[in-house]
Amino acid sequence: MALSLMACQSQSPAPEGGIGDGLQPPPNAPFTAQLIRRLNRTEYLNTVRELLGPTASTSQVLPADDQVGGYDNNAQVLSLSPLLLEKYALAAEELVASALAPTNSQGRARLLTCDFSGANEEPCAKQILARFGSQAWRRPLSAEDVSALLARVKASRTAGDTFEVALGVGLQSILVSPHFLFRVELDPSPDALEPHPLNDFELATRLSYFLWSGPPDEALLAAAAAGTLKQEAELEQQVRRMLADPRAQALVDNFAGQWLRTRQLALAQPSPSQFPTYASGQLAQAMAMETALVFRELLQSDRSVLDLVDADFTYVNAALATHYGLPGSFDPDPTRFTRVTLSPQSSRRGILTHGSILTLNATPTRNSTVKRGKWVLGRLLCQEPPPPPANVPQLPSSSPTAGSLRQRMEQHVSDPACSGCHQKMDPIGFALEHYDAIGAWRATDGQYTIDARGTFPDGRTFDGALEMATVLKNDPDLPSCVVRHVFTYAMGRTPEWSDELAIAQLTQTFQARGHRMKELLVQVVLSPPFRMRRAQEAQP
């Protein structure tokens, strides 16, 4: 078996019934190359905890992963530097030492699952290495794999180490192997350029890190071992089982948190003097939780994910309810959130009015028309504007004589060098003028009456956040953008031209099935791009 550093995706059309039916692509179907993927920081820590227990941790500070398109699971930036490899080695040493420490009244470590006295030593070591190795490498170990690991244990024993120390050497080797740190996918031959399905264990790994940001569980590995995971019915059954598991919270934390960019809310720094209620940090945590809980309900209740933009409910704790001016009695415990039904006239319907989105897209001292318009275009419509030129002048002062923010913005972008992009972003951001830098409702902008009228680039008009949400929900680019973001997260790479057919097919199925997120997740997994690969072409 040859190790290929690239994975590719098929663009075969889907017959009636589902995008995954008829897996084999047509001749000469385009495939997109994909680099081998290292586990990102979240995936690494989740995997370690699954292997060694929920309290497993390391003092090594793993660096944050870079992002592409807002996602930190993109293979393009998941390389392995010498410094990071050193940190992984130190972390493995620390983790194994802790796992081999006595943990019960008999002084037995959780990994020492067999009798290693006398003649039992080598068979016990082989048993532990094979079991731990297959869990860590997410596939059965070959006899050669076990022999190589056992050789390290024997060498350590020969050097005078105790059995526990020597076994730890073998276990550390498992945790610093590319088979652990990377999601390895093999090809029958480096010259086999025809698209072919992933093997069952590779497919199980792709699936678990997509839905759980962690390794396959026993049930998924059992299906892989039985050779049934390639069967569409079994694969769909596994997806639905996994979506019902608590570990699917990873889709809320890692997919939705990066799609909507609420994971970046911790970086927002509203001015403490202007916004003292935000300074404690509790309000920011509540805002992020609100958006996560709304997304989670739409996912778990199998509602249309498009309801995000005008949801008739939200979740608040006492502090957030006060911030929003919502009536009612709320538990003072900041960790207790209450589901609130919102009237059609409520100023808090949909994520466009969530404090998380509004605060994230603001400056320390005021709301940002530009950032808010850019967020809607980029995250909900996949029409990301280009970055601004380096020589853009600052917005004029907010002195009482300078006019409202809208008036100053309109003057600021009269420059032809600025107007091209701002004519698309600003009219969208104007709809959110009633919300200040931390999302509190305001009737006026200082002494000026707020004008919340706006337009989309194609000329559709609205007045305020609620009307914009209604227009946005009916925008044909919204469902296709949702599909594009899910596809990007699932595949761990930016879509390319050769993916457009698959994305169009997924969008069609998504629309036909009521824009339900669960159904989209199932169809992405069943699609040829997710289930297939080919060898990388040799470089000249």
Per residue in 299-324, pLDDT tens?
A: 999 999 999 999 999 999 999 999 99
Res 130 pLDDT > 60? yes
Ranking 119-123, 186-190, 246-250, 534-538 by mean pLDDT, the lowest is 534-538
CA–CA distance, 161 with 298 (Å, rounded to integer): 55
Q: Residue type for 348, please?
A: R
pLDDT of 146: 98
CA–CA distance, 49 with 528 (Å, rounded to integer): 31
Q: What is the mean pLDDT of residues 181-202?
A: 85
210-219 confidence digits (pLDDT tens) = 999 999 999 9
Q: What is the mean pLDDT of residues 400-405?
A: 65
pLDDT of 12: 31
Q: What is the mean pLDDT of residues 176-204?
A: 88
3-state secondary structure string, 110-142?
A: CCCCCCCCHHHHHHHHHHHHHHHHHHHHCCCCC
The residue to which tokens 């009307």 are assigned = 467
CA–CA distance, 105 with 124 (Å, rounded to integer): 21
CA–CA distance, 344 with 347 (Å, rounded to integer): 9
Q: Mention every residue, 6+ apart, whose C-beta is less than 8 A from residue 521.
A: 211, 239, 243, 251, 486
**Residues 328/321, Cβ–Cβ less than 8 Å:** yes
259-295 confidence digits (pLDDT tens) = 999 999 999 999 999 999 998 889 999 999 999 999 9
| Among 306, 317, 385, 321, residue whose Cα is nearest residue 352 | 306
Q: What is the mean pLDDT of residues 381-407?
A: 70
Res 390 pLDDT > 70? no
pLDDT of 540: 55
The residue to which tokens 């289930």 are assigned = 531
3-state secondary structure string, 452-494?
A: CEEECCCCCEEEHHHHHHHHHHCCCHHHHHHHHHHHHHHHCCC
| Portion of the chain with pLDDT greater than 90, in percent | 76
pLDDT of 385: 86
pLDDT of 439: 97
The reply to whether 157 falls in a domain is: yes
The more confidently predicted of residues 247 and 445 is 247
> Two tokens at 190?
């480096």
28-63 confidence digits (pLDDT tens) = 445 565 578 999 999 999 999 999 999 999 999 999
Res 22 pLDDT > 60? no
The reply to whether 50 falls in a domain is: yes
The reply to whether 454 falls in a domain is: no
CA–CA distance, 332 with 339 (Å, rounded to integer): 15
Q: What is the mean pLDDT of residues 185-208?
A: 86
What pLDDT band is residue 405 in, cutting at 50, 70 and 90? confident
Res 7 pLDDT > 50? no
**Residues 507/520, Cβ–Cβ less than 8 Å:** no
pLDDT of 395: 58
- Residue 58 belongs to what domain range? 39-183
Res 169 pLDDT > 80? yes
Question: What's the first-to-final CA gap in the chain, in angstroms?
Answer: 22
**Residues 1/187, Cβ–Cβ less than 8 Å:** yes
| Among 346, 300, 297, residue whose Cα is nearest residue 321 | 346
Say whether 421 sits in a helix, a strand or coil. helix
CA–CA distance, 140 with 195 (Å, rounded to integer): 24
**Residues 376/385, Cβ–Cβ less than 8 Å:** no
The more confidently predicted of residues 446 and 309 is 309
The reply to whether 146 falls in a domain is: yes
Q: What does each C-alpha distance from 50 to 135, 203, 476, 522 come to in angstroms? A: 9, 19, 41, 24
pLDDT of 27: 44
The reply to whether 460 falls in a domain is: no
Paired with 531 in beta bridges are none
Query: Total domain count for the chain?
Result: 1
Res 486 pLDDT > 90? yes
pLDDT of 262: 96
Q: What does each C-alpha distance from 2 to 165, 184, 534, 537 come to in angstroms? A: 33, 11, 12, 13
The reply to whether 469 falls in a domain is: no
What pLDDT band is residue 6 in, cutting at 50, 70 and 90? very low
**Residues 430/451, Cβ–Cβ less than 8 Å:** yes
Res 539 pLDDT > 90? no
Res 4 pLDDT > 50? no
Task: Tally the C-alpha atoms within 13 A of residue 383's C-alpha that lie toward its C-beta.
Answer: 16
Q: Kindly state the DSSP code that residue 186 receives in the 8-state scheme.
A: E
Q: Residue type for 361, please?
A: N
Say whether 196 sits in a helix, a strand or coil. strand
What pLDDT band is residue 87 in, cutting at 50, 70 and 90? very high
Q: Mention every residue, 6+ apart, whose C-beta is less than 8 A from residue 56.
A: 48, 49, 95, 98, 99
**Residues 488/480, Cβ–Cβ less than 8 Å:** no
pLDDT of 329: 92
pTM: 0.90
pLDDT of 186: 82
* Average pLDDT for the chain: 89
The reply to whether 107 falls in a domain is: yes
Q: What is the mean pLDDT of residues 406-431?
A: 73
Q: What is the mean pLDDT of residues 403-407?
A: 74
| Portion of the chain with pLDDT greater than 70, in percent | 85
What pLDDT band is residue 14 in, cutting at 50, 70 and 90? very low
Res 2 pLDDT > 60? no
The reply to whether 431 falls in a domain is: no
pLDDT of 387: 77
The more confidently predicted of residues 144 and 421 is 144
Res 159 pLDDT > 90? yes
Judged on CB neighbours under 10 Å (0-12, 13-18, 19+), 334 is middle
